[in-house]
Amino acid sequence: MQFHLAYSSYLNRQYTKMKALYHAVRDAIHDGNLVYGEKLPSTRELAASYHISRGTVNQVYDTLTAQGYLQSEHGRGTFVAYQADLSNEDYQVKSCTHHLSAWGNRIQQLEQQTAQQTAQARDHSKENSEVIDFSKYQPDLSKFPYDEWNNRLYAEIRHREENVIHASASVSSTGDPKLREAIAAYLRRMRGIHVDADHIAVTAGSMQAIALLTQLLADPGDHVVTESPCYVGISQAIMAAGAKLIEANLDGQGLVPQNWDARMLFVTPSRQFPTGEMLSLERRQTLLDWAHRRDAMIVEDDYDSEFRYRGMHVEPLKTLDKEGRVIYLGSFTKTLPFEVRLGYVVLPPTLADTFRKAQALYEPRPVNLIEQRALAAFMTSGQYERHLRRMNRLYSRKFHMLLKLLNQQLSTWFDWVENEAGLHVFGWWRGTTSAYEAFRSSARLEGVHYSEVSSSTSDGIKVGIYLSFAHLSDAQIQEGVARLQKAVMV
C-alpha cells in the first residue's frame, strides 16, 4: 500500500519514534490528509516503510483507537474513525500574497470578467429540464458518421507503436505532416487558397492561434483593430497581450475601413461573427491597401465558411493577398465531435518558423496526434467532404425554418440578418434598452437561453442576439421561437 506520513519532520521534534509516529498520524487525520473511512497500512507494512519496530506501530494504533481516531475491524484492517471539520478556521491553509507579472494581472482580470458574466447568466437562469438552449454552438452530432470516423481512429490506435516512432522522427509541434497536406489540398480545392503544407500549423482550436499570433505581433501598448461586435476571445487575447483595442464599426456591409494607426487587424470577412454581414470586394482591397501602408498584419478568421445555403461561396481575403500580410485561420470545431479540438493557421512564409518556435514553447509535441492522423485519413478518403455536403443540406433546412419562424413571429422586435450561411441567425433589437432587459428576463423565465452582444454607435448602444440552431431538433426550434415570442409579449 502506497502511504506517506511526515514522519521524518516529527522525528526531529519528538524524543521517541513512537511519539513521532503518533503525532504524524494524529495530525494527518486532523488536517484532513487522512480522511474518515480511509484504510491505513497494516502494522507490518508501516513498520517496514519507516524502519521502526512492529511493536511501536501497534502501540500507536492502540492509543489512537482508544482516543477515537482509529477503528480496527477484524479481518479487514484499521480505518480512520474521526471526521475532521475542515471548514474550521484552524484548518484553512494560510497563503502568502503572490506577486503577479503584468501579464499575470491582465489574465487575472480576464478571469474575473468571465466569472462575473457566468454569475450574471446563472442569476437570470431558471432551473428547467426543458430549457431550449440557442446559446450552445455545437454541430448536430446525431448525423455524424461515427462508424467511418471510429474506423480511422482504431486504425491509428492499432499502429500506435509505429506512430510513436514516426512522431519522434518527423512530427513537429505544427502538426502531423499528412494532416497539413490534407488541409492544404482541401483549401486549394474548396477555398481557392494555394498554400504549401509547410506554412500550415495545426492548433488546439482557433483560440490557440489567436493568442499566439497576438503575442507574436503586438507589443504592450500597440493598437489592434477588431470588429464591433466580435468574438470575445479575440478581445481577451489582445488585452492579455497588453495591446490596446480599436473597435471598428459595422454598417450592414461588414467592417468600415479606416486609416487606423495599428499593428494588427482581426476580421471575419466571409461571414462576420456574430452579425453574419459579408465584406464587399472593394472593402477587402481597401484593407489590404491599409495593411501595406501601415506595415500591418491582418488575421482572417474564416468563420463558418463550410456552410452556405444559397449562392456561391465567398472567396477568402487570403486569396487577394499578394504580400503575405494575411494570416488565415480555420477550425474543425463546427464539423467534428466537440472532443476533437483541432484548428489550423495558414502563415506567410516569413512567419511560419517563428510561429513554430512559439508553438513549441507551449507544446513541444503535437496535440491529439491520433486524432490528427485519423482526420488526415478521413479527409484524404473524401469522407470529410461527403459529411460536409450531408450536413449542409440538413443545416440549410433548419436555417430556413428558423429564419421563417423568426420573421413571422419576432420581426416587430428584431431586425434579422438574412445571410444564407452559418450555424446561427443574428438579429438587432429594435426597441429600447429597458424593453430589451425586460425581454431578456422573461426569456430566461420561459426557459430559453441565447447569446447576446452589444455595440457602441453614434446613436448609443445597440443590442443584438444570435440563436445557434445546429444541435436542436425541429420541434425544439419551433418551441424555442414560440417561447421567445411569449417573452417579448410580456
**pLDDT tens digits, 208-220:** 999 999 999 999 9
Angle between helices 232-240 and 102-124 (to 10 degrees): 150
Rounded Cα distance, 260 and 246, in Å: 8
Rounded Cα distance, 151 and 378, in Å: 10
Res 461: pLDDT: 81
What value does the mean pLDDT take over residues 26-41?
Answer: 91
Res 489: pLDDT: 87
% of the chain with per-residue pLDDT over 70 = 91
- Please report which confidence band the pLDDT of residue 89 belongs to, taking 50, 70 and 90 as the band edges: low
Single-letter amino acid code for the residue at 31: D
Contact between 442 and 431 (Cβ < 8 Å): no
Res 123: pLDDT: 46
Close Cβ partners of 171 (under 8 Å, ≥ 6 residues apart): 177, 365, 366, 369
Single-letter amino acid code for the residue at 487: A
- Please report which confidence band the pLDDT of residue 87 belongs to, taking 50, 70 and 90 as the band edges: low
Could you give the domains of the chain? 7-91 (1.10.10.10), 106-135+386-489 (3.90.1150.10), 159-384 (3.40.640.10)
Pairing state between β 132-133 and 448-449? parallel
Res 84: pLDDT: 79
Res 212: pLDDT: 97
pLDDT tens string 171-194: 788 999 999 999 999 999 999 999
pLDDT at 90 over 90: no
Q: Is the pTM of this model over 0.85?
A: no
Conformation bin of residue 311: beta by default, left when phi > 0, alpha when psi is -120 to 50:
left
Residue 102, all three cell numbers: 503584468
Contact between 138 and 462 (Cβ < 8 Å): no
Phi then psi for residue 309, to 5 deg, are -105, -10
pLDDT at 274 over 70: yes
pLDDT at 198 over 60: yes
pLDDT tens string 116-154: 444 444 444 445 558 999 999 889 999 999 999 999 999
Res 419: pLDDT: 84
pLDDT tens string 218-248: 999 999 999 999 999 999 999 999 999 999 9
Phi then psi for residue 455, to 5 deg, are -145, 140
- Please report which confidence band the pLDDT of residue 161 belongs to, taking 50, 70 and 90 as the band edges: low
Helix H or strand E encompassing 456 = strand 451-457
pLDDT tens string 352-411: 999 999 999 988 888 889 999 999 999 999 999 999 999 999 999 999 999 999 999 999
pLDDT tens string 409-442: 999 999 999 888 999 999 999 999 999 999 999 9
